[in-house]
Structure 1
Amino acid sequence: MLNFDKDRFIRIQSGAVAIAEMARPLMRDLLAKGMERVYFMGTGGVQLLTLPAIDLLQRCSTFPVAACHPAQVVLDPPSGLDDKALVIIPSLSGTTRESVDLLAFLQARGVTTLSLTGHADTPLARDATHTFTNFAEDDTSSESFYLQTQILALALLAETGALADHDAIIAELKTLPALLVAAKETYEAQAAALARSIQNEPWHIFTGAGSAWPEANYYGMCILEEMQWIRTRPVHAADFFHGTLELVEPGVSVFLFKGEDALRPIGDRVERFVRRYTDKLWILDTAEVELPGISPRVRAMISPIVLATLLERLSAHLEVLRDHPLTTRRYYKRVEY
């Protein structure tokens, strides 16, 4: 496979799954100490990677959970940020400016924090109340953060009595890294062909529903916009018929991501409409990916992870065809604070 290190990928994703050994004891301890609410506060695209975990908690439990933007919290914090709260702060670099500022703000209020980082010797890893560090880089971070945050959610569900089969789910997740490599290998030729088809497209609509939506939003914003300077319009499939449908016409590129949860029919509706009006509909459907040993319940949970792992192959080919490395930025180092 183009620009892919199999052993490195398995090592990183296995490290993400391995936090399950620490996550449940941590949640048990925090609950015993009086934790009453959880917030996920990531900056930029990494916050999108926490949305499946938040959705899992909200669907399966009444335990209070919310998502907040760090830059907003330090200016106008929500109620409940006190010693009864846990704030989970994901950051690949461990140095994200808004998140570092947030950590200092939370510490001053006595809030318990848990950082998820890709690098150990960094402000967020060193200074958070608790930290899980699993080395990753841009090409492997999506799956890693999806896995870590969902594993934390599963641990909380188990410790609050809302999940009876925690250990069985974790056992399935432990097999996932190797299965994702097999999925990449199977998709490689399709990824190369898709990259050739879209390399010169000026813009794309990205859409999906349920667990597929965070990855649609993430790929449009963080990969094509930030890393390839291609304009995108991410829109939730439930909102597609309330504005964005009027942009669809022959020649318009539309990406539809389909997962395997209860909200899949919303994406099906978009597909039926778009097929009538453009010849450039690109569908990534996790139901087409073979994942031996993964139950339907867990497949629904990991749909965004599967999408992310397939899209990494698309990105690998796209950066070569467009002669634009994914690491190239215009303004990343010039943002003024």
Structure 2
Amino acid sequence: MLNFDEARFTRIQSGAVALSGPLDDLVGTLLDQGAKNVFFLGAGGAGVLMQPAVQLISRHSDFPAHLDNAAELMAVGSTNLGEGSIVVVPSLSGTTKEAVQVVEYARGKGAVTITLTGYADSPVAKAADHNFTNFAADDTSSESFYLQSLEFALSIVRRRGELPDYDTVIAELALLPTLLIEAKRSFEERAEALAVATKDVGYHIFTGAGEAWTEAWYFATCILEEMQWVRTRPVHASDFFHGTLELVEQGVSVVLLKGEDATRALADRVEAFVPSITEELTVIDSASFDLPGISPRVRALISHIVLATVLERYSAHLEVVRDHPLTTRRYYRRLDY
């Protein structure tokens, strides 16, 4: 596979899986101590990657879970944040200004802070009450953060007595590092063809529902916009028919990410409509990838992880055919803003 180190990928994702035990132990301790809610507070893409975990807790447990933008929460506050709150802050570099600030803000409110970082000696890691470090880089961080936050969410639901098959689910997640490599391999040829076909496209509509929506937003914004300077319009599949459909015309690129949870029907509706207007519809469906040993129940929990891992193959080829390295920036961390 192009510019891909299999051993490195396996090591990173196995590291994320291995955190399930320590995370579960901490969750158990905090709940025993009377934790009353959880906040996932991040900046930019890392914060958005927490959305599937929050949705899992909200949909399977009565334990209050919140997803907020760190900077906005610090600006307006929250009556729900305080003593008894668990605050989870992801930051790959551990240096993101808003991430450092929100950890300190939350601790000042009496919350217990947990950080998920790529570097143990980073400011974010050092500022937290509890830090979990799993080294990763931009091309491996999505899966790593998705896995860690999923494990955290599963632990909360389990510790509340609402997930009796927790051990089975975690055992299946342990299979993923190897399975994700095979998913990448099976997508490699299509990824290259897709990169060649879209290298000159200057505007895409990205859409999806459920967990797939999180990855649609993330890839469109953090990869195509930030790393490739390609304009995108991310829109949830349920909102596609409330405005965005008027932007669809012949020649407009629409990229639909499909997952395997109960929201799949929302994606089906978009898939049925778009070809009647434009031929430029690209569908990437997590259900099309073989994942031996993963049950339908768990597949429904990890669609975003599968989509993230195969889309990395697309971006790897895209940077080559566009002669635009994914590390190139004009403003991000280059200017004082």
TM (norm. structure 1) is 0.99
Distance in 1 of aligned mates of 2:239 and 2:74: 30
- Single out whichever of 308-317 and 48-57 deviates more from structure 2: 48-57
| Identity between Structure 1 and Structure 2 (%) | 56
Distance in 1 of aligned mates of 2:137 and 2:191: 21
Displacement of 1:280:
0.6
Contact 2:206–2:256 at 8 Å: present in 1 too? yes
Matches within 5 A, 1:133-172: 133-172=133-172
Q: Deviations over 1:126-179 (max 9, x none)?
A: 120011100000000000000000000001111111110111000000000000
- The answer for the alignment partner of 2:226 in structure 1 is 226
Q: Deviations over 1:20-62 (max 9, x none)?
A: 1111111110011110000000100111211111111011011
Q: Secondary structure at the match of 1:41?
A: strand
Distance in 2 of aligned mates of 1:187 and 1:274: 23
Equivalent position amino acid for 1:106 in 2: A
Displacement of 1:333:
2.1
Distance in 2 of aligned mates of 1:106 and 1:186: 43
- The answer for the alignment partner of 2:92 in structure 1 is 92
Distance in 1 of aligned mates of 2:177 and 2:186: 15
Equivalent position amino acid for 1:326 in 2: L
Distance in 2 of aligned mates of 1:118 and 1:96: 12
Matched, 1:249 2:249: yes
Aligned residues: 337
Q: Secondary structure at the match of 1:68?
A: strand
Equivalent position amino acid for 1:150 in 2: L
Matches within 5 A, 1:244-283: 244-283=244-283
Q: Secondary structure at the match of 2:246?
A: helix
- The answer for the alignment partner of 2:56 in structure 1 is 56
Q: Secondary structure at the match of 2:113?
A: strand
Equivalent position amino acid for 1:297 in 2: R
Structure 2: gaps (5+ residues): none
- The answer for the alignment partner of 2:173 in structure 1 is 173
Distance in 2 of aligned mates of 1:286 and 1:25: 31
Displacement of 1:72:
1.2
TM (norm. structure 2) is 0.99
Equivalent position amino acid for 1:172 in 2: E
Distance in 2 of aligned mates of 1:47 and 1:136: 16
Contact 2:60–2:157 at 8 Å: present in 1 too? yes
- The answer for the alignment partner of 2:132 in structure 1 is 132
Distance in 1 of aligned mates of 2:325 and 2:156: 39
Equivalent position amino acid for 1:49 in 2: L
Equivalent position amino acid for 2:313 in 1: R
Displacement of 1:110:
1.9
Distance in 2 of aligned mates of 1:276 and 1:240: 15
- The answer for the alignment partner of 1:28 in structure 2 is 28
Distance in 2 of aligned mates of 1:261 and 1:323: 37
- The answer for the alignment partner of 2:17 in structure 1 is 17
- Single out whichever of 236-245 and 77-86 deviates more from structure 2: 77-86
Contact 2:71–2:98 at 8 Å: present in 1 too? yes
Displacement of 1:309:
0.3
CA-atom RMSD in angstroms: 0.8
Contact 2:84–2:110 at 8 Å: present in 1 too? no
Contact 2:100–2:127 at 8 Å: present in 1 too? no
Matches within 5 A, 1:293-332: 293-332=293-332
Displacement of 1:335:
4.1
Displacement of 1:104:
1.6
